[in-house]
Amino acid sequence: MLRSRMGSIRPVGEFFDVKRVSKPKNMGDVQRRVTYNLAYFSANYVIVFAILFIYSLLTNLLLLFVLIFVAASLYGINYLKGGDLNLGFTRLTTSQLYVGLLIVALPLGIIASPFSTILWLLGAACVSILGHASLLDKPIETSFSDEAV
């Protein structure tokens, strides 16, 4: 019965049930809670990660610009389907366009500090998700069903 319910988004009231928040007794209790909650609230945790990802891009606008610029440039180069870009006064091959994109996007990408953004995202997601998973106790109904088996 529990397996059929896994993987779907849980209601907000169940996800933020403050009555079930308690300090774990020991590391075994933490492991039991994290294992259960990661499986039970997996879709909710994906949404939390997505919200943190969007927040990290909105607070690092240069990185957002670089990602959109590179994606649009790659789409534009692929739109040529291997043909040359004729600007009237010059003709650019596909390989020249890729090199030009690399020359522009690489320094901008380094300045945008993607590694620090990724590390912040991973840290914030781990603290949020694992903190929630370790503090939220299993429902009482599941405790009785686990012992009966």
CB atoms near residue 92 (< 10 Å): 15
CA separation for the pair 77, 84 (Å, rounded):
9
Q: What is the pLDDT of residue 140?
A: 74
How would residue 94 be classed by pLDDT, with cut points 50, 70 and 90? very high
Q: What is the mean pLDDT of residues 45-62?
A: 97
Residue 130 confidence (pLDDT) above 90: yes
Let me know how long the chain is: 149
How would residue 14 be classed by pLDDT, with cut points 50, 70 and 90? confident
Residue 138 confidence (pLDDT) above 90: no
CA separation for the pair 101, 24 (Å, rounded):
52
Q: What is the mean pLDDT of residues 83-94?
A: 91
Closest CA to 15 of 46, 35, 31, 37: 37
| Tokens at 92, concatenated | 């650019």
Q: What is the pLDDT of residue 1?
A: 40
pTM (two decimals): 0.79
Chain-centroid distance, C-alpha 20:
26
Instruction: Report CA torsion sign: 24, 28, 29, 33.
Output: positive
Q: What is the pLDDT of residue 145?
A: 61
Quick one: three-class SS letters along the chain? CHHHHCCCCCCHHHHCCHHHECCCCCHHHHHHHHHHHHHHCHHHHHHHHHHHHHHHHHHCHHHHHHHHHHHHHHHHHHHCCCCCEECCCCEECHHHHHHHHHHHHHHHHHHCCHHHHHHHHHHHHHHHHHHHHHHECCCHHHHHHHHHC
Q: What is the pLDDT of residue 3?
A: 47
Q: What is the mean pLDDT of residues 39-54?
A: 95
* Pick from 16-25, 65-74, 101-110: least confident: 16-25
Q: What is the pLDDT of residue 101?
A: 96
* Among 6-15, 67-76, 83-92, the range of highest mean pLDDT: 67-76
Q: What is the pLDDT of residue 127?
A: 97
